[in-house]
Homo-oligomer: A and B are copies of this chain.
Amino acid sequence: MIKFAEIEEAQNRISHIVKHTNLEYSDFFSQISGHQVYFKTENLQYTNSFKLRGASNFVLQLDPDIAARGVIAASSGNHGQGVAYIASKMGYPCVIVVPKGAIEAKVQAIKSFGAEVIYCGTFSEECRKKARELSEERKMIFIHGFDDPKVIAGQGTIGLEILEDFPEVEVILAPIGGGGLISGILSAVKERRPDIKVYGVEPSESNCMYVSLHEGKITKLLRTNTIADGLRSNRPGNLTFPIVRKYIDDIILVCEEDILKATKNLLLKVKLLVEPSGAVTSAALISKKIPGKNKKVVPIISGGNVDPEFIKKLLD
């Protein structure tokens, strides 16, 4: 479990690095969902994803002499950008292992922060194995994308910001991949404000948390298959699973069609560029799966990193 105080400490630690992102009310999504929708715009975060929060909270706690040997992470792109960004700010060497077929915009951004990019396999598990091996070989510090208490506490700062800016909130929606973001938010919100409903959202085709909760134990999916490249984790984390099991109100599953419809409407109606992983919470609104009526809902838009070709296809 992550203590509330750890998240408050994380907030103090990273506040000069990350952006306190805005909430954006959307009349379009309010109308189609029958709720009052205020998007938490982490796509407008530096590196255009919330992952910078957890990465910064981890890296800023490193002993500088040890960190000087470098940091290493495995990532489909956004965690890699977060780690590369904060490493460059601190002057630490950085290696990111990405799967073949990673979004080009994400890879280019990682490189733009001066990190070395290594391609390996097509699944996050293979990348992680490779990154751990390299971390031993090169004596670099491995930073897990979600299953780490400092990373989870960093992501939890989103929950604190929502409570500060919008204490009237009734429902929070967060995407689930390995469970880092939702664990942070649950840890930040549920002890103080158990009245706030927190729902996790997963693609139906990549629903490891949903399956694990139903099985009552961490369960590994044989395959995942979703356009939401940031949510292709095939199992929850050892740390994230118990937190989610303890606190979550429910998991909402969304289909690929609704993810794409949500991404398109976020662009054309809300005027925000959002990646499919960041649009699953909006897909849950489109599919009218949020219980209640006229609730004050904060869906987290987790990121906005897509390739131009994807946008063109989306609009065809």
Which of A94-102, A198-206, A266-274 forms part of the interface with chain B? Answer: A266-274
Chain B CB count within 10 A is highest, among A43, A268, A271, A315, for: A271
- Whether the pair B22, A271 counts as a contact (CB closer than 8 A) is no
Chain A 293-310 interface residues, beta-carbon cutoff 8 Å to B: 304, 308-309
Using known A-B contacts A19-B25, A22-B24, A25-B19, determine if residue A270 contacts B312 with beta carbons closer than 8 Å. no
Q: Nearest Cβ in chain B — how far from A88, in angstroms?
A: 13
A275-311 vs B, CB cutoff 8 Å, 1 = contact: the mask equals 0000000000000000000000000000010001101
Q: Nearest Cβ in chain B — how far from A306, in angstroms?
A: 9
Q: Which of B44, B270, B273 contacts A267 (CB 8 A)?
A: B273
Closest to A315 in B: B308
| CB-defined contacts of A309 to chain B, threshold 8 Å | 315
* Number of chain A residues close to chain B: CB under 8 A: 24
| CB-defined contacts of A43 to chain B, threshold 8 Å | 271
Is the CB of A27 closer than 8 A to any CB of chain B?
Answer: yes
Is the CB of A48 closer than 8 A to any CB of chain B?
Answer: yes
| CB-defined contacts of A22 to chain B, threshold 8 Å | 22, 24
Q: Nearest Cβ in chain B — how far from A24, in angstroms?
A: 6
Closest to A45 in B: B271
25 A–B contact pairs at CB < 8 A? A19-B25, A22-B22, A22-B24, A24-B44, A27-B46, A43-B271, A44-B270, A44-B272, A48-B271, A105-B268, A267-B311, A268-B273, A268-B308, A271-B273, A271-B304, A272-B272, A272-B273, A308-B315, A309-B315, A311-B311, A311-B312, A311-B315, A312-B312, A312-B315, A312-B316
In the A-B complex, the 6 residue pairs with the smallest Cβ-Cβ separation, listed nearest first, are A271-B304, A271-B273, A22-B22, A308-B315, A43-B271, A312-B312
Residues of A within 8 A of B (CB): 19, 22, 24-25, 27, 43-44, 46, 48, 105, 267-268, 270-274, 304, 308-309, 311-312, 315-316
